[in-house]
Amino acid sequence: MTSLIGEYDCRIDPKGRFMFPVDLRNQLAAAFEKGFVINRNLHQKCLVLYPVNEWEKLNKTLSKLNRLIKANDVFVRKFTGGATNVLSDSTGRLLIPKSLSEYACLGNDLKVIGSNNIIELWDKKQYEDFLNQDINIEKLAEDVLGGLNFNDEVNE
């Protein structure tokens, strides 16, 4: 799968739809026509659009969890509870389910962000607030990436 990149400003219409950015659509190629699964983000008040093939990979991993263990059962239920299939209409718009839109406090102005293998949907103001948080990005990069060897070949 292509590594999705880009940050796009979109508008949500009164019916809860937004025009999917053409550049992201081109990056997705044929995967765009297969549709998406939209769900809540685990860590932020935003939504995640998983291309169907990415959702299927994630769901395959989740299906291996023993649901007789309470923590696994609760996690799978909480994580997949809002997941909804979405397809574009003939003009390339996607409908954001009302319950998910309310969860993410989406207004009319939407930020659509290509983020590796997923797409994030943010209320524009909330995204700006997130970016303006006082986070030491140098320390975060060291903590997250410090142990990686960037000279290794990437396996696909």
Q: Which letter does DSSP use for residue 136 in this model?
A: -
Is 26 in a helix, a strand, or coil? Answer: helix
> Does residue 1 carry a pLDDT above 60?
no
What average pLDDT score do residues 86-114 get? 96
Go through the chain and tell me how many residues it has. Answer: 156
Question: What's the pTM?
Answer: 0.89
Q: Which domains does the chain have, with CATH numbers?
A: 7-145 (3.40.1550.20)
Residue that has been written with the tokens 């990415």 in this structure:
54
Q: Residue 136: what pLDDT?
A: 87
Q: What is the pLDDT of residues 47-84, one digit of tens each?
A: 999 999 999 999 999 999 999 999 999 999 999 999 99
* Residues 38/49, Cβ–Cβ less than 8 Å: yes
